[in-house]
Structure 1
Amino acid sequence: MPSWSWPDIKQRLQCPVDEDAEYENTTWCNRDLIPIPPERRTYGVWSYFGYWTVSGSCISAWSTGSTLLSFGLSPQQAIGAVILGGFISGLLAVGCGWMGEVHHIGFTVSSRFSWGMRGSYFPVIIRTFVSCMWFGMQAFWGGQATSVMIGAIIPGFAHMPNYFSKSSHLQTNDFIGLLIWMCGFIPAVLIKPEKLQLPFFICFVFFCSSCFGILIWAVSQAHGPGNLFHEPGSAPNTGWAFMFGITAILGSWGAGTLGQSDWVRYSKRRYAPTLSQLVACPITIALTATIGIIVTSSSNKLMGGEIQWNPIYLLSDIQEYYHSSPRVRAGVFFASLGMVASQFSISVVLNSVSCGMDLAGLWPKYINIRRGSYIMAIIGIAVQPWQLISTADKFLSVLSGFGVFMAPATGIMLADYHVIRRHRLKLSDLYRGDSSSIYWFRNGVNWRAFAAFTAGMWPLLPGLAANVNDWNYGQWVGWLRLYNLTFLVGLAISFLVFWGLNVVFPVGGIDQEGPFIPESEGVVYAVWFI
């Protein structure tokens, strides 16, 4: 008979440990937090191209580019903002992923050398919050794509009565689609991160087929990119609107690059991810967004002058426009299938793995990536993402708003790792939760990181409030313009302040480095701080 005493139950609930492992589940360590051992490093150059094609070729890229038309940029200006934002995101990916290549650790653990062992909970919790928000939006889009796909098979499904209130911004058929999409996402989380290369490729092929299929339809039916493509922008101030477009890109992918080491740590060799970060990242984001802009412009001519910035809504409109003819329903089905696949892949790549590892860092004994992903899914749906993306303006506000918190954290990481520590880390001390660790600082907290974070964040908060509440007058204009530079300003301020504080108030141990498990200690060290 199995024992059901409380100590036995606690033991059974702990995260699995590899056979013959040189670590144990502790307050600071489990299988998903240790530096990735050589046998689990399975990503080569083409694997990272697959990663970035999935990350860049997605509904977010399409919608961000075409949403900029609603914000008042011309198509050419929107394309320029997307290209520049994608290139900057690629540079940030290289800088933030460096420690993953060299030390094979992820963001959750690397935060400890900047913020302190206890202080690292702060950026981890912030990124967990952002990841949950992002997952909620991606899941909702996945549910809508599923709803459109079902509606292509059963036309009456698209017109079923809505039993939710109008203020909820949620349709009954979209909710059913979300439930079905979640049933597919839950088993996808069971795939280990080091085994995701083939799913990356399959989802990329599906989504690209959908993108080019819609593009061919739109351009052929409109006999070109449409009149909107040649019209000037309507933004009152083009320069600041252009910078806001860059901010929207960085708020999305720039925030994702903060945790680039979560994936780069699986690289087989040095520089395997670099080419894809510098090439595949900006190209895929820019190409997908450009397709979205052209299709939005072309369909604007066909659909009676309404700008449809979301490809999922566009597919639904296409089926209605052609009165659900069999040929169109077949096309809509396969196109929406690509959207569903894209949402599966992007939710795993940019949300579940990173957020799962962050949650694992909060309670390593009992939470790993898989369990953390399920917690993220519950929170992401509970925040009602359909309220966040109900309009184009709200969508851009959400994207740029994330940068207020992610940019300062990125600046701190880049300054500490590249300038102050010069790529030197004592890995064993990143898993040692007492004053013997050089990353303990004072009571486990590095006050310099919190000061730099505050300095980088507070100048952007008035602009965030003005943007959300549409205060475009008087004293708020200056704050809004500063907010249009959110990611660049927040990153630069926190970088310089953190660097300066470390010059004036230097910390010890910045020249020390060493492996995860010192040869003289072996596995014994891992049980010191259980």
Structure 2
Amino acid sequence: MPLIQRVRNAVQLHGDEDKHEKTDSWSNRDLVPLPPARRTWGLFEYFGYWAISALNISTWQQPNSFLTLGLSVGQTMGVIIVGRFIVALFAIVVAWCGLRWHIGFTIQNRFSWGMRGSYIPLIQRVMLNFIWTAIQCWNGGKLVCVCITAVFPSFASMKNTLPASMPTTTYEMVGFTIFWFCSLPFLWMPPEKYRLPFQVVCIYCGVAMICMMIWALSVAKGVGPTFYTSQNLSGDWSINWVMLRCINSLIGGKAAGMTNGSDFSRYGKSARQFTTGTFLCLFIVGTLVSFVGLVTVSATQVIYNEVYWNPPDLLMRMMDEGHGSSKARAGVFFLALGFALTAGFENVCGNAVGGGIDLSGIFPHYINIRRGALITFFAAWICMPWQLVNRADTFITVLSSFTVFLAPMMGIMTTDFFLLRKQRVRLSSLYDLHGQYYYTYGFNWRAPLAWICGWAPLIGGLNATVEKETVAKSLFELYYLSFFLGYFISAIIFYGLNRLFPLPHLGESDDLDMFGTFTPAEAKFMGVAPADDKISDNGSSEKVVYADKLAEPDLEY
């Protein structure tokens, strides 16, 4: 056998055919609908999944970006409450397909975009995951630097051995490298077993944030002037437009996680636990973290006569003011480690694993979740986050504004699943190039057309915001509503195109559970014959065997 062929056979993935884990150009073990044995996520897993995205630096800093635009504290918290509620609502709706059919974002797009057309949203997601993984590693590295400095104070004065052309220092590179290597082992953990890390990270970081707030309030003997900031608008923008801009910004920051929600909702044991865990965390925990950050920053302003919205900067100041005492350094280490743990596992779960799932959809023969996550993580070095974060403020602004492209994508996904297909999907065709979702040469032209129509009117405002240009006010107004406009424009156009040019077989599903996806109770609810049944010649199902099954699931669809 030629060497190339032997290498190819060695790296190709192989699944258990008896468990419907066929591996070919469109399928592998991590892409097929998840069977009951792999659906291990309950209320706490979903609470933990969204908690790690709430218990982080960006959520802590969120009030700052709104206050600097001229909102009062009350208006800022109002924006956060409304924005968080909308995020929770859309996160549940977008992920519903994964709950019902146990397929992820990678597969879900095949029935909307076509088998080959699904690569369009997939490639966007892969690139986003590469870049956000790199940036999160860089930000996590700064927290590692704080931890090391708390243990070895001389680390902060480390000599910079890097050339002046590099926009970073040896100090920062050491933190980045350590954070990257410490995160690497968690990539070997399958998503089914995330319960323990979720527990440790959420409890540790939550307690650390509360302790930080209590300490600040105790030393300052109350909240400081930042907490009583009144409205201070500048320019010709009304308060209503400023608040809409802030709500849109808040939603945009969560758009990437909302888009691929079905990648993780497919692991759910029940719809009730998914919706409860998701809503409680995204709405309540996210709001509370922003409030805790606001109170802590306001109180520390009294202590240090300066406002520190960036936790690593605040922690370093706390250590300096403690004159390097063991007590001050121990406290700073405890707090910085909490933020670092959250940043690390959020990066692994939300970015690296998400990128792994998307890469698996592009190269099913060779890439599964673990291999894809490793590729995404190694790409952090290629992306050079020290260049992106320390130099390219404009680039970061563009990434944060990517909701312009993601919102139309979500509009297509939800309109197709709920309104056109009535939540019915033919699973077998999602893994067959020439099945019902082949459309025209593998593309459903309606989807890219509706998607472009969703973001095209918003590009002018995005470009003006990034380049800080003076353009017509109406372009900014469109951009400040980009999530809602992009979502509903694409949704309406996609719906209209499908009515004008209807597709055959909408709302159809398989008669038999070909992948062993459903328990008997689920199969009955979905109207398909269980995997233990066979279809007779006359089209009716005949019972073959009914062995002991899992407990009947909570089917509140």
Same structural fold, with TM-score higher than 0.5 when normalized by the shorter chain: yes
Structure-1 residue corresponding to 2:413 = 413
Structure 1 residues 384 and 226, CA gap change in structure 2 (3 angstroms): farther
* Number of the residue aligned with 2:92: 94
Partner of 2:507: 511
Amino acid at match of 2:282: C
Q: Distance in 1 between matches of 2:362 and 2:16?
A: 20
Deviates more, 1:220-229 or 1:282-291: 220-229
Q: Indicate the residue corresponding to 2:12 in structure 1.
A: 14
1:105 aligns with 2:103: yes
Name 1:295's counterpart in structure 2.
296
Q: What pairs with 1:99-248 in structure 2 (closer than 5 Å)?
A: 99-164=97-162, 169-236=167-234, 237=237, 238-248=239-249
**Distance in structure 1 (CA, Å) of the matches to 2:359 and 2:47:** 27
Match of 1:352 in 2: 352
Q: Identify if the C-alpha distance between structure 1 residues 328 and 18 changes in structure 2 by more than 3 Å, giving closer, same or farther.
A: farther
Distance 2:389 2:81 in 1: 23
Deviation readout 1:159-182 (Å, 9 max, x if unpaired): 223344677542321210111111
CA distance in 2, matches of 1:34, 1:185: 27
**How many angstroms does 1:397 deviate by?**
2.6
Which deviates more, 153-162 or 392-401? 392-401
Residues 27, 363 of structure 1: 8 Å contact kept: yes
Distance 2:500 2:221 in 1: 64
**Correspondence for 1:261:** 262
Q: Residue 97 of structure 2 contacts residue 103 of structure 2 at CA under 8 Å; is this kept in 1?
A: yes
| One-letter amino acid of the structure 2 residue matched with residue 427 of structure 1 | L
AA matched with 1:282: F
Aligned partner of 2:554 in structure 1 is none
Distance 1:271 1:468 in 2: 41
User: Within 1, Cα distance between the matches of 2:78 and 2:217?
Assistant: 21
Q: In structure 2, what residue type is equivalent to 1:268?
A: K
Alpha-carbon distance in structure 2 between the residues aligned to 1:11 and 1:392: 43
- Given that 1:70 and 1:392 are in contact with CA atoms closer than 8 Å, whether structure 2 keeps it comes out as no
Q: Which moved more, 1:4-13 or 1:99-108?
A: 4-13
Normalising by the residue count of structure 1, what TM-score does the alignment of the two structures yield? 0.92
Aligned residue for 1:440, secondary structure, equals coil
Q: Tell me the equivalent position of 1:478.
A: 474
TM-fit CA distance, 1:478: 2.2
Distance 1:490 1:35 in 2: 30
| CA 1:414–1:19: 2 relative to 1, 3 Å | closer
Match of 1:272, SS?
Answer: helix
Task: Measure the CA separation in 1 of the matches of 2:14 and 2:329.
Answer: 46
Partner residue in 2 for 1:63 = 61
Query: Higher mean Cα deviation, 9-18 or 352-361?
Result: 9-18
Cα contact 2:319–2:329 (8 A) shared by 1: yes
1:365 matched residue in structure 2:
365
Deviation per residue, 1:322-348 (Å, 9 max, x gap):
332221111000111101110122112
Which amino acid letter does the alignment assign opposite residue 512 of structure 1?
A: E
CA contact (8 A) 2:420 2:507 kept: no
Q: State the identity as a percent.
A: 36
The structure whose Rg is larger is: 2
TM-score for the superposition, normalised by structure 2? 0.87
Given that residues 147 and 337 in structure 2 are in contact (C-alpha distance below 8 angstroms), is that contact kept between their aligned partners in structure 1?
A: yes
CA distance in 1: counterparts of 2:396 and 2:96, whole angstroms: 30
1:500 aligns with 2:501: no
| Structure 1 pair 212–60 and aligned structure 2 pair: CA distance change class (3 A) | same
**Which deviates further from its counterpart, 414-423 or 8-17?**
8-17
Q: Report if the CA contact (8 A) 2:388-2:396 is conserved.
A: no
Structure 1 position 394, deviation (Å):
5.9
Q: Would the alpha carbon gap of residues 399 and 160 (structure 1) be closer, same or farther in structure 2, given more than 3 Å must change?
A: same
Measured against aligned partners, the alpha-carbon deviations of 1:334-389 in whole angstroms (never above 9, x if no partner) come to 11110111012211221122211001001001111111111112333432334544
Contact 1:15 1:365 in 2 (8 A): yes
Contact kept, 8 Å, 1:66 with 1:289, in 2: the verdict is no
In the alignment, what sits opposite 2:380? 380
| Offset at residue 51 of structure 1 (A) | 2.0
Structure-2 separation of matches of 1:456 and 1:196: 36
- Following the alignment from structure 1 to structure 2, what is the Cα–Cα distance between the partners of residues 398 and 289? 23
- The residue aligned with 1:528 is none
Corresponding residue for 2:456?
458
Distance (Å, rounded) in 2 between the aligned partners of 1:198 and 1:122: 35
* 1:470-516 C-alpha deviation (Å, 9 max, x unpaired): 12x342x3212221222111111111111111111111111210244
**Secondary structure of 2:272 counterpart:** coil
Matched, 1:272 2:273: yes
Q: Is the 8 A contact 1:251 1:399 kept in 2?
A: no
Give the counterpart of 2:439 among 441, 453, 457. Answer: 441
Counterpart mapping for 1:394-409 below 5 A: 397-398=397-398, 400-409=400-409
Mean alpha-carbon deviation: is it higher for 141-150 or for 168-177?
Answer: 168-177
For residues 479 and 161 of structure 1, do their structure 2 counterparts lie closer, same or farther at Cα, with a shift above 3 Å needed?
farther
Separation of aligned partners in 2, 1:195 and 1:335: 26
Deviation at 1:469, TM superposition (A): 1.4
Matches of 1:68 and 1:139, distance apart in 2: 26
Task: Please state if 1:29 is matched with 2:30.
Answer: no
Equivalent position amino acid for 1:243 in 2: L
| Secondary structure in structure 1 of the residue aligned to 2:281 | helix
Give CA deviations for 1:64-91 in whole Å, capped at 9, x if unaligned: 3333334443332222222211111111
Deviation for aligned residue 1:132: 2.0
**In structure 2, the residue corresponding to 1:271 is in which secondary structure?**
helix
Alpha-carbon distance change, 18 to 220 in structure 1, aligned in 2, over 3 angstroms: farther
**Shift of the alpha carbon at 1:420?**
0.7
Task: Tell me by how many angstroms 1:300 deviates.
Answer: 3.0
Q: Note the alpha carbon deviations across 1:267-303, whole angstroms, 9 max, x for none.
A: 1233320112222211111111111222222223333
Residue in structure 1 matched with residue 543 of structure 2 by the alignment: none
CA RMSD of aligned residues (A): 2.2
Relative to structure 2, which stretch is displaced further, 320-329 or 30-39? 320-329
CA distance in structure 2 between the aligned counterparts of 1:414 and 1:109, rounded to whole angstroms: 14
Task: State whether residues 103 and 265 of structure 1, in contact with CA within 8 Å, keep that contact through their aligned partners in structure 2.
Answer: yes
- Check the 8 A contact 1:35/1:516 in 2, yes or no: no
Distance change (3 Å), C-alpha of 1:302 and 1:368: same
Contact 2:52 2:345 in 1 (8 A): yes
Cα distance, 1:391 vs structure 2: 9.4
User: Aligned AA for 1:433?
Assistant: L
Runs of 5+ consecutive residues of structure 2 not aligned to the other structure: 516-530, 536-557
Answer yes or no: is the 8 Å Cα contact 2:223–2:298 preserved in 1. yes
Amino acid at match of 1:7: Q
C-alpha change, 1:408 and 1:325, in structure 2 (3 Å) is same
Measure, in 1, the Cα distance between the counterparts of 2:514 and 2:49: 27
What is the rounded CA distance, in whole Å, between the counterparts of 1:43 and 1:508 in structure 2? 35
The answer on whether the counterparts of 1:91 and 1:277 sit within 8 Å (CA) in structure 2 is no
Q: Corresponding residue for 2:526?
A: none
Q: 1:389 to 1:303 in 2, by over 3 A?
A: farther
Change in 2 beyond 3 A, CA 1:474/1:97: closer
